Amino acid sequence: MAKLQIREALRRALREEMLRDESVFLMGEEVAHYNGAYKVSQGLLDEFGEDRVVDTPIAEGGFAGLGVGAAMAGMRPVIEFMTFNFSLVAYDQVINSAAKVFQMSGGQYKVPIVFRGANGAAENLGSQHSTSVDSIYAHFPGLKVVTYCDAHDAYGLLKSAIRDDNPVVFLESELTYGVKGEVPDHEFLIPLGQAKIRREGTDVTLVTWGKQVMMVEAAAAQLAEQGISAEVIDLRSIRPLDQDTLFSSVAKTGHCVIVQEGYPFAGIAAELAARVQEACFDWLDAPVLRVCNRDVNQPYAPNLEKLVMPSPPRVIAAVHRVLGRDVAQDNALDLPQQGA
C-alpha cells in the first residue's frame, strides 16, 4: 500500500493507461515540457514522447475540438484544462459535439474522451478562476461527471473514466493535489456511478462530493461530540448518480442536508433535494436543506471568500435546523460570523 499525493495517484493512473493502450494520449496547456501546471503529468513526456503528450496553445476551443475529433476516429484523448473555468471557452465542443455526437450519429460514433482539470475555488484566485462547473456539465445528457476526494478514488476513477466509451468530465482540485492517501500497489478500477459511505450514521444524511467531503467529515466529527450521528455520503459520480445509496441512507436517517460547492440556483444540490423529496417523502421527518456557496460571484479577499464557501459551522447549523434542535443557530446558515 503506497502513500501517494493525489497528483501522483492521477499520474500513475494516466501512465498505466497509456502503457496499456496506445490510443490514449494527453493534450493540453503546459502538460509536456512544463510537466503540467500542477505536475500531474511530470515525466510523461520523457517516457511517451511528443506524439502522446502534446503541448497546446492557449486555445481551449481548438484543442478540445481536436480531442473530440480524435476520439471519433478511435483514439482515447485525455484533455487537460488548466482550470475548468477556462473550459467555458470550449463549451461548444464539449456540449454540442462530445455530448451529442453518439446520439446524432445514431450510435455510429463513440466519443471516448476525458476532460480533466482543476475545478472550483482554490485560495484567493478571484471570480474568473473559482467557478464550480459541476452543475453546468451535469445538466446535459451524454456527459458523465466524476470527482473524488482522496488519492485512492482519484486513481480508480480516472482509470475507469479513460476506459469509458462516453465523454467524461473529470473534476479535480488545486487545493488537494498535494494531499496524501493510501493507494494499493495493485491495479484497481472504481465503477462510475457508485457512491461511497464515508461515515456511518443514524440521525442525518450529509451528502456531498469532491473536496467538500473532507470539510463535511470534519463537521460530522463535531456533530458526534454533540451527540448527533451523521452519515456522510460521497457521491463521487454526479452523472451517473447512485440514487440507491442516497435513498437508502435517507430512508434510514429521516433527515438530509446536501452540501455543494457552487451556486444554489439550479445547482446539483437543488436537483438532489428534489429527487430525495420525491422518492423519500414518506421517510422524511423534515424538509431537505442545502448548504451552498452564497449566491454571489467569488470574492478575492480571503475573509470574504471564507464567508461565501460552505464551512463546518454552516453544515452544523443546517443539521441542527433540520433536526429541530436549535433554531437559534439559523443565523449561521444565512449570516455566518467572520471566519466561519
Q: What is the pLDDT of residues 107-149, one digit of tens each?
A: 999 999 999 999 999 888 888 899 999 999 999 999 999 999 9
The Cα-based distances of 162 to 22, 76, 84, 144 in angstroms read: 12, 7, 18, 12
Q: What is the pLDDT of residue 340?
A: 34
Residues 166, 25 share a domain: yes
Residues 246, 298 share a domain: yes
The Cα-based distances of 98 to 39, 59, 90, 109, 276 in angstroms read: 27, 17, 11, 10, 30
Q: Which residues does 170 contact at the CB level (< 8 Å), separation at least 6? A: 114, 115, 116, 146, 147, 157, 158, 161
Q: Which residue has the cell 446536501?
A: 258
**Does the pLDDT at position 164 exceed 90?**
yes
Residues 212, 176 share a domain: no
Identify whether 188 is part of a domain: no
Residues 227, 150 share a domain: no
Is 79:115 a contact under the CB 8 Å cutoff?
A: yes
Q: What is the pLDDT of residue 73?
A: 97
Is 238:208 a contact under the CB 8 Å cutoff?
A: no
Q: Cell for 195? A: 457512491
Round to whole Å and give the CA distance between 34 and 45.
Answer: 9
Identify whether 106 is part of a domain: yes
Q: What is the pLDDT of residue 61?
A: 96
**Does the pLDDT at position 232 exceed 70?**
yes
pLDDT digits (tens, 9 = 90+) for 273-318: 999 999 999 999 999 999 999 999 999 998 999 999 999 999 999 9
**Average of pLDDT values for 191-215?**
98
Whether residue 240 has a cis bond before it, omega within 30° of 0: yes
Residues 11, 155 share a domain: yes
pLDDT tier for residue 327 given thresholds of 50, 70 and 90: low
CA atoms within a 13 Å half-sphere pointing along the CA-CB vector of 89:
14
pLDDT tier for residue 325 given thresholds of 50, 70 and 90: confident
**Does the pLDDT at position 338 exceed 50?**
no
Q: What is the pLDDT of residue 217?
A: 98
Active-site residue, from 60, 80, 231, 305: 60
Q: Which residues does 304 contact at the CB level (< 8 Å), separation at least 6? A: none
Sign of CA dihedral 271, 83, 156, 73: positive
Residues 171, 284 share a domain: no
Residues 263, 173 share a domain: no
Q: Which of 183, 215, 243 is the last residue of a domain?
A: 183
Domain that includes residue 220, residue range: 196-334
Identify whether 190 is part of a domain: no
The CATH code of the domain that includes 124 is 3.40.50.970
Q: Which of 132, 152, 183 is the last residue of a domain?
A: 183
Round to whole Å and give the CA distance between 157 and 60.
Answer: 24
**Does the pLDDT at position 98 exceed 50?**
yes
Residue 328 vs residue 68, higher pLDDT: 68
The CATH code of the domain that includes 244 is 3.40.50.920
**Does the pLDDT at position 213 exceed 90?**
yes
Residues 159, 290 share a domain: no
Residues 23, 165 share a domain: yes
CA atoms within a 13 Å half-sphere pointing along the CA-CB vector of 202:
1
Percent of the chain scoring above 70 in pLDDT: 96
Percent of the chain scoring above 90 in pLDDT: 92
**Does the pLDDT at position 56 exceed 70?**
yes
Buried b (16+ CB within 10 A) or exposed e, 66-90: bbbbbbbeebbbbbbbbbbbbbbeb
Is 179:213 a contact under the CB 8 Å cutoff?
A: no
Residues 231, 318 share a domain: yes
pLDDT tier for residue 337 given thresholds of 50, 70 and 90: very low
Identify whether 339 is part of a domain: no
Mean pLDDT, all residues of the chain: 94
**Average of pLDDT values for 82-108?**
96
Active-site residue, from 129, 152, 255, 320: 129
Q: What is the pLDDT of residue 1?
A: 85
Least trusted range by pLDDT, from 69-73, 174-178, 336-340:
336-340
Query: Does the annotation mark 8 as catalytic?
Result: no
Q: Which of 155, 183, 211 is the last residue of a domain?
A: 183
Identify whether 273 is part of a domain: yes
Residues 88, 222 share a domain: no
Whether residue 302 has a cis bond before it, omega within 30° of 0: no
pLDDT digits (tens, 9 = 90+) for 20-29: 999 999 999 9
| Number of separate domains in the chain | 2
Query: Does the annotation mark 186 as catalytic?
Result: no
Residues 202, 179 share a domain: no
SS3 content of the chain, % helix, strand, coil (to 5): 40, 20, 40
Identify whether 189 is part of a domain: no
Identify whether 220 is part of a domain: yes
Q: What is the pLDDT of residue 124?
A: 87
Q: What is the pLDDT of residue 331?
A: 47
- Please give the model's pTM, rounded to 2 decimal places: 0.94
Round to whole Å and give the CA distance between 211 and 216.
Answer: 9
